[in-house]
A and B are shown apart, each in its own frame.
Chain A
Amino acid sequence: MTTGKVLAERTYQESIISRRLELRRQLGYIVLLLPTLLLLLVLFVYPIARLIVTSVYDGNQFTLEHYRRIVEVDLYLRVLRTTFTIALQVTLLCLILGYPLAYFLASVRARTARLLMILVLIPFWTSILVRTYAWMVLLQRQGVFNRWLLELGLIDEPLRMMYNRIGVLVGMTHVLLPFMVLPAYAVMRGIDPNLLRAAYNLGASPFQAFLRVFLPLSLPGIAAGSLLVFILALGFFITPALMGGRTDMMIAQLIETQIRTQLNFPFAAALAAVLLIITLVIFAIYNRLLGLDKMFGGGY
């Protein structure tokens, strides 16, 4: 055998060995992911598949009847419209309240910011049910707020702040605010403070520097926060159920009624599928425009 052949033989064997090692490494990753994958498959993917199947069968007959009903019946369209309107309003409220808060957190020293962040997170860790009941105590006809306002003489009779849109918006905004603040804060923290200095140095007033440098650079954070809040708001149930008005029904409440009182599982399944599809479409649009991978900062 010539030396060349020996070398070729050796590199061939080495390549087999390296390929085997590579394979083993990939196998290791699969083992790490397996428990989660199985769990998702059994508890998430399978039920959703069943749900969709349920929504398109009537007995053994394939049908799109349930979907047609959603589109054709006025009441259901109104529920969809209400759901979107409320989700949009909550997103806007979270933006208005959350942006200045995130801006403040991003401008104080990192240590202070971490302490203040706990204040944002404590409600985040508290049960939604508890928080909703707390708001009911505050907002109801004989509640804390109404009593104060009456005693101060600012109003003559109690305001209706519950069992209507106001109650739903207050409750949902409170619950969802951290989902706006966290990604917005993460992105803002990543903005180099020297960029603002550079803007001032180049002749930008503080307001112009904010408008032309800080705001555009913080947009990925706002977009991520808005997406989270909007999508979570779409499927909200507890707050609208407890604090909402009878005419202000959201889609999750409708699904619940269909199951609990009408026992109409196929129709409930169709509604759930619609909610799922809408959510996926929004994610797809977001991914197309901004990229889901950049959701938590690292935009530029």
Chain B
Amino acid sequence: MVTVKESTTRGAAQTGGARLQLIELTKVYGEVVAADRVTLDIAPGEFITLLGPSGSGKTTTLMMVAGFVIPTSGQILVNGEDIAFRPPHKRNIGMVFQNYALFPHMTVAENIAFPLKMRKWRRDEIERAVKEAVQLVRLPGFEERYPRQLSGGQQQRVALARALVFRPPVLLMDEPLGALDKKLREEMQLEIKHIQESLHITTIYVTHDQEEALTMSDRIAVMRDGRIEQVGTPRELYERPVSEFVANFIGESNFVEGRFERRDGRGYLVTADGWRIAVQSADDVSAGEPVTIALRPERIVLGEDRGDNRVEAIVEEIIYVGEATKFRVRVPGERLFSVKQPSRLETMRWQRGDRVLLSWRAEDAVVLRTRK
């Protein structure tokens, strides 16, 4: 009787993920603050990526959620319940490890059944759930194989199936695609995203690959030195970075320092050597404040006048990368700019040493407060 009841509640638990809140989560190792008051409110079913260079605290944060690192202070709330100090095996959180961590002495089916056996599911329930999970990751027919008989991509799928089969409300992924080649990685990105959406499972994904983060995430938290630098949708982060670090870590940017000026309701940056650049209006910045502007290489137009800013530059270097061509150009004040243009016949005619016209619109120059 009890088992029947349990299986019905299990069925109910299958729909959707939990709300996950990290509150002031901190980890200190001796003198080093590996995670510094990390705070995130993740909605049920949301896919959030922790993005940052190595040592930025993203893995430490993930390990605290998984329970392998005990926080120095802070809270981890799953649907309001604090699990920060619960042992990992009592957390009911799915995780895909960087190297997959499949059990080499168990078959695919046994690997996937493992979390269900630990939860003492009935045998027929386990069989059915394993079958479903294998279908979910599109690996039917591979049940009796051992992990060593599978390709990297297939191992990845098994790891995902094993992490999802017990229908946890939260899924953690630690650079799960790092070991795969580019083509397969892009395929898996979409597939993981689709599975995640169909199960509506709350997901924290860790990567240092900005493209991967932009492709998959609902929101991205950019981390640096143990702290969250900025949280936002991929678009917000790319279009409106709050710092030079974010502007440079997600995509690439040209930076110019100066003071902010306002004239006729429009914003300008004036550099120390007198160059005046029309920038976004930036209402929260007061006149005279020292600021830096970030300008995306692909927002600059080469050889045509199509914006509020025009400047003459000399081509220093041309790098052809297939679909695009990158230029290094020298602009006023001996500054070097990166410019990226789609590869077309017009962009091909430029040569090193040519004088070219650069132009860009005021909105494309994002104003960042210069930090001390």
Which positions in A face B, CB cutoff 8 Å?
Answer: 192, 194-195, 197-206, 208-209, 212-213, 216-217, 300
Contacts and interface: CB of A to CB of B under 8 A. Distances in A.
Contacts of A208: 118
Contacts of A200: 67-68, 87-89
Given A192-B99, A201-B94, 19 more contacts: A192-B101, A195-B101, A195-B103, A198-B95, A198-B97, A200-B68, A200-B87, A200-B88, A201-B67, A201-B91, A202-B89, A203-B115, A203-B119, A204-B114, A204-B118, A212-B114, A217-B104, A217-B105, A300-B104
Question: Which of the listed residues A201, A206, A216 has the most CB atoms from chain B within 10 Å of its own CB?
Answer: A201
5 contacts: A192-B99, A192-B101, A194-B101, A199-B114, A201-B95
A202 B167 CA distance: 11
B166 interface: yes
Nearest to A191: B104
Interface in B101-122: 101-105, 114-115, 118-119
Contacts of B94: 201
A94 B251 CA distance: 60
Given A192-B99, A194-B97, A204 B104 contact: no
B66 interface: yes
B13 to A, nearest CB: 14
A99 to B, nearest CB: 18
A209 B67 CA distance: 15
B89 A203 contact: yes
B59 to A, nearest CB: 12
Contacts of A201: 66-67, 88-89, 91, 93-95
A195 B66 CA distance: 14
Nearest to A196: B101
A203 B166 contact: yes
Nearest to A206: B89
B353 to A, nearest CB: 50
A66 to B, nearest CB: 46
Interface of B: 66-68, 87-89, 91-95, 97-99, 101-105, 114-115, 118-119, 148, 162-163, 166
Contacts, number: 62
Contacts of A300: 104-105, 148
Contacts of A192: 99, 101
A212 B114 CA distance: 9
Given A192-B99, A300-B148, A202 B105 contact: no
Contacts of B66: 197, 201
Given A203-B89, A203-B166, A204-B118, A198 B101 contact: yes
Contacts of A204: 89, 114, 118
Given A197-B97, A197-B101, A217-B104, A202 B87 contact: no
A212 B106 CA distance: 10
Contacts of B114: 199, 202, 204, 212
Contacts of B87: 200
Question: Which of the listed residues B98, B115, B166 has the most CB atoms from chain A within 10 Å of its own CB?
Answer: B115
A203 B118 CA distance: 6
Contacts of A205: 89
A213 B166 CA distance: 19
A300 B106 CA distance: 11
A300 to B, nearest CB: 4
B112 to A, nearest CB: 10
Contacts of A217: 104-105
Contacts of B98: 194
Task: Give the top 9 A-B pairs by smallest Cβ distance, nearest first.
Answer: A203-B118, A202-B115, A300-B104, A198-B101, A194-B101, A200-B88, A200-B89, A201-B95, A216-B105
A199 B66 CA distance: 12
B67 A213 contact: no
Contacts of A206: 89
A197 B88 contact: yes
Contacts of A199: 103, 114
B148 A202 contact: no
B139 to A, nearest CB: 18
Nearest to A195: B101
B99 A202 contact: no
A282 B79 CA distance: 59
B61 to A, nearest CB: 16
B129 to A, nearest CB: 13
A298 to B, nearest CB: 11
A280 B88 CA distance: 47
A198 B148 CA distance: 17
Contacts of B97: 194, 197-198
Contacts of B162: 202
A258 B258 CA distance: 101
Contacts of B166: 202-203
A4 B52 CA distance: 61
A194 to B, nearest CB: 4
B104 A202 contact: no
A202 B68 contact: no
B101 A203 contact: no
A197 B101 CA distance: 9
B255 to A, nearest CB: 40
A213 B101 CA distance: 11
A202 B96 CA distance: 10
Nearest to A212: B114
A195 B102 CA distance: 7
Contacts of B105: 216-217, 300
Contacts of A203: 89, 92, 115, 118-119, 166
Nearest to A213: B103
A212 B118 CA distance: 10
Nearest to B172: A201
Nearest to B110: A212
Given A202-B115, A300-B148, A194 B89 contact: no
Nearest to B115: A202
A197 B103 CA distance: 11
A216 B110 CA distance: 14
B166 to A, nearest CB: 7
A194 B99 contact: yes
